Amino acid sequence: MSEDFNENKTIQAQSSETISGGETGVAPDIDYVRPAELSDQDLYHGHTFITKWVFCQDAKVIGVQYFLLATFTGIIGLILSWLMRLQLGFPGAAGFMTAEHYYQFVTMHGMIMVVYFLTALFLGGFGNYLIPLMTGARDMVFPYVNMVSFWMFFVAVGVLLASFFVPGGPTGSGWTLYPPQAILEGTPGSGMGIILMCVSLILFVAGFTMGGLNYLITILQARTRGMTLMRMPLTVWGIFTATVLAMLAFPALLVSALMMTLDKVLATSFFMPTILKAGEVLEYGGGTPILFQHLFWFFGHPEVYIVALPAFGIVSDLISVHSRKNIFGYRMMVWAIVVIGALSFFVWAHHMYVSGMHPWFGFFFATTTLIIAVPTAMKVYNWILTLWRGNIRMNTVMLWCLGFIVTFVNGGITGIFLGNVTVDVPLSDTYFVVAHFHMVMGIAPLMVIMGAVYHWFPLVAGRMLSEKLGKWHFWITFLGAYSIYFPMHYLGFIGVPRRYFEMYDSPYITSAVGMNEFISTAAFIVGAAQFILIYNIVVSLKMGKPAGKNPWQANSLEWLTPSVPPEHGNWGDKLPVVYRWPYDFSVPGAKEDFIPQTTPPSEVVETEVEKT
Amino acid sequence: MSNFIKKLFGTLAEKPWEKEQAAIDTYHSGKTFNLSMQTSAVIVIFGLSTVLFSLILTGYLYTMPPEQDTKFLFKPNLLWINTIVLFFVTYFFSKITKDLNKNNTTQIKKNLILVGGLSYLFLFGQIFFWYQLMQDEKFVHTNTYFSSFYIFTALHGLHLLGGLFFWGKVCSKTLKLEQSEIINQKKNISALSLYWTFLLIVWLIFFSTIYVFNDAFIAWCKTILT
């Protein structure tokens, strides 16, 4: 911790005295802040279109760039899911679709949605836009490196999509890319497809590292005066912890992608045991595919929380602002984020129960998996208790937040099912698992993204989104998502396996036929409903109601910039000074039901502290 | 470390909504650690790279198959010389750090060039060792022992090259500076020095692992015991 920590102890006595003297009059130093220690950041301001909007060093522009590119890849992922559902619901309806195509679409859909859409959007998009604003910094600490980070991501996406156009097409080995089949003939895209996938992942990790470096150091070292760690909004805590996880987990993805590339290109055998093909011994030998599984899931499970933790943080802030109440159990929320982050590194092998592991190993990972449910459940209780007796504004943002809580609880509970070895083994590789992870790390975080878009769009664009369109968007998505994934649990229970192109003549699962048609129809509708948001954004950019400053009457710093949308450098001539935490809503004694973080104590001396 | 953990938990136990705590918090500078941005960046890279190298080592230990021909590494070879070169780089960096405090400009500039030169020598030595291995028909695909060796040394070399890129930037600025201005580069040079120390530690761990955890060494130990 900083050396000034000890100095704080000295000030503690002074400040306490000052505060206790408040009844007889405000002491002159009640609003005192220390002089700025850091010299103001020297920023590069672009003047041409290229330096201002393309190769731009402003974190906000980079955030929007990340957001747009991630959304673009997300739409590709969505189209791939439509094609898959078309085949599953109405086999043969898409005439061109072969089994190879299906596997390639499954693989690309999974990888795109998890890595190139959700991760990039939460950390690259929201992280870049919100971290400097919420912590009171002018920009990220290394703006040039931050810009390079986005362009690395851009190249990574380009390489990934290029695999659609190479001979053999993209890899069809499933998003887990398990060797040996991923690189052996017979698997779709086992040539250039898998190589491009690995190269793209390596580029993504390299690019993310540059961004992550910025997020961590900006949060830790470049906050404005008065912004202690425990005064940061939970959004920043979520993004911060997720970035720490990413910095520790992505090397595992990098190593596995690198080693697999070498196995493919240079015939090394990191993951390749001795293999016979058509009676002939291949040149591989000495490696083990289980090592890949360990490496992949050492990345893969924290990846769930890399997506979930920013969502937890964001939804906490949205719920607090739109129910006009301080977040219930702020400290507990921070602890839960940190504990979930730490525990997420001790649960990875619950994805490998059917890999032939020792039963005690399974027992250990089942235990840690169930333990992680404790801090997660605490968060759910706290969200509900924040809403309890709040002055709830039932707007689009709140609807998405409520949708998230319900969906997350649903997906979380099935996760507790699957965390137990004895339950997981029969359900492994069935649609129950597909339903579980789509609910918990697909739909639930997506609902937070949607809520966040409706919440922060006025800040980014200076105009409000249409509430009416927003509510249509929400209800179609919410009801549609449940129409897709609730029946999928049933499909899993009756034993329908995942990753099958077609069920062929399977009389024991005839009931799945109608259900698959229903699910597919719902999937088409839900996918199409997302274009309501795109339409809403396009129309509102020109014709939306002007947002003005702080339209939601929030307390956190991003709404307190001199101009909306904020300019490069965020704060005009002077950096803000923070006097309070960001959750002073409906404080007894205050004139309004919110007290922004920059309001000095002398302006609200009559207020009473609420216990939390 | 215990102090750090104590303060970390102390921070997490704060109640920011209480007026007494608010008065303390308002006095906060906004900086968590008393470190420069450059040093902070190096520490973050440490964390990331430590995981990266640890996973490769773990992978090596996980896949270490029996009866691999690793005797080549036991013959007197260039790796030992390269290790000594890397030691010298770290030694000269520590001298630079001391000279920075004394403001000994000439010596700083001289040693800064020396550490760069020695680092390039280390890289050249590593590449030449690869050449020797290949001459002896020990390729990257020969067995998992050599696969791990090549990948680890390649990644270590890439880290060093990354460091040399920043060394080049810092060096070109520092060499132009007068005695009174050299202190402006102190944070950059200290961060570089820290980074090279990390690279030395990583190398030493790897160097000892490939010697200790391999079939030939284990067989040799057994002969001593029996």
Q: Where are the domains of chain B?
A: 78-226
Strand partners, A463: A546
Cβ of B140 and A224 within 8 Å? no
Compute the distance between CA of residue A327 and CA of residue B59 in angstroms, rounded to an integer: 44
Cβ of A581 and B17 within 8 Å? yes
pLDDT interval class at A1 (50, 70, 90): very low
Cβ of A19 and B23 within 8 Å? yes
Compute the distance between CA of residue A499 and CA of residue A174 in angstroms, rounded to an integer: 8
Residue B138 has pLDDT above 70, yes or no: yes
Question: Is residue A590 within 8 angstroms of chain B, CB to CB?
Answer: no
A317-331, A459-473, B166-180: which has the minimum mean pLDDT? B166-180
Share above pLDDT 70 across residues of chain A, in percent, rounded to a whole number: 93
For residue B48, list chain A residues with Cβ-Cβ distance below 8 A.
209, 247-248, 250-251
Cβ of B15 and A331 within 8 Å? yes
Please provide residue A564's backbone torsions phi and psi, each rounded to the nearest 5 degrees: -125, 125
Q: Who wins on pLDDT, A331 or B224?
A: A331
What part of A 259-288 touches B (C-beta under 8 Å)?
A: 259, 262, 266-270, 283, 286-288
> How deeply is A609 buried, as exposed, middle or buried, from its count of CB atoms within 10 A (0-12, 13-18, 19+)?
middle
CA nearest A3 in B: which residue? Answer: B34
Looking at residue B184, its pLDDT comes to 78
Please provide residue B186's backbone torsions phi and psi, each rounded to the nearest 5 degrees: -60, -45
Task: Tell me the CATH number for domain A57-583.
Answer: 1.20.210.10
What value does the mean pLDDT take over residues A472-479? 98
> How deeply is A391 buried, as exposed, middle or buried, from its count of CB atoms within 10 A (0-12, 13-18, 19+)?
exposed
Residue A22 has pLDDT above 70, yes or no: no
Compute the distance between CA of residue A104 and CA of residue A174 in angstroms, rounded to an integer: 8
Residue B31 has pLDDT above 50, yes or no: yes
Residue B164 has pLDDT above 70, yes or no: yes
Global pTM exceeds 0.90: yes
Residue A29 has pLDDT above 80, yes or no: no
What part of B 116-145 touches A (C-beta under 8 Å)?
A: 140-141, 143-144
A249-258, A428-437, B67-76: which has the minimum mean pLDDT? B67-76
What value does the mean pLDDT take over residues A285-307? 95
Mean pLDDT (chain B, rounded) = 89
Q: Which amino acid is at A13?
A: A
Coil, helix or strand at residue A499? coil
Task: Tell how far CA B72 is from the center of its chain.
Answer: 26
Residue A538 has pLDDT above 60, yes or no: yes
Share above pLDDT 90 across residues of chain A, in percent, rounded to a whole number: 84
The DSSP secondary-structure symbol of B214 reads S
Residue A24 has pLDDT above 50, yes or no: no
Question: Is residue A134 within 8 angstroms of chain B, CB to CB?
Answer: no
Give the ipTM.
0.92
A92-101, A104-113, A114-123, A461-470: which has the minimum mean pLDDT? A92-101
pLDDT interval class at A338 (50, 70, 90): very high
Spatial contact of B40 and A217, defined as CB atoms under 8 Å apart? yes
CATH superfamily assigned to domain B78-226: Cytochrome c oxidase, subunit III, four-helix bundle (1.20.120.80)
Residue A83 has pLDDT above 90, yes or no: yes
Looking at residue A46, its pLDDT comes to 81
Question: Is residue A574 within 8 angstroms of chain B, CB to CB?
Answer: no
Question: Is residue A549 within 8 angstroms of chain B, CB to CB?
Answer: no
Residue A101 has pLDDT above 60, yes or no: yes
Token readout for A291 is 């090592």
Looking at residue B114, its pLDDT comes to 95
What part of A 283-342 touches B (C-beta under 8 Å)?
A: 283, 286-288, 291, 294-295, 298, 326, 330-331, 334-335, 338
Looking at residue A180, its pLDDT comes to 94
Cβ of A141 and B37 within 8 Å? yes
Cβ of B28 and A38 within 8 Å? no
Looking at residue A11, its pLDDT comes to 37
What part of B 1-20 touches A (C-beta under 8 Å)?
A: 4, 7-8, 10-20
What are the tens digits of pLDDT across the range A205-262? 999 999 999 999 999 999 999 999 999 999 999 999 999 999 999 999 999 999 999 9
Of A19, A220, A584, the CB nearest to B40: A220
Q: Where are the alpha helices (DSSP H) in A90-191?
A: 99-111, 128-135, 143-162
Spatial contact of A94 and A86, defined as CB atoms under 8 Å apart? yes
Cβ of A287 and B144 within 8 Å? yes
Spatial contact of A10 and A1, defined as CB atoms under 8 Å apart? no
Looking at residue B76, its pLDDT comes to 67
Residue A28 has pLDDT above 70, yes or no: no
What value does the mean pLDDT take over residues B138-165? 93
Of A38, A295, A580, the CB nearest to B22: A580
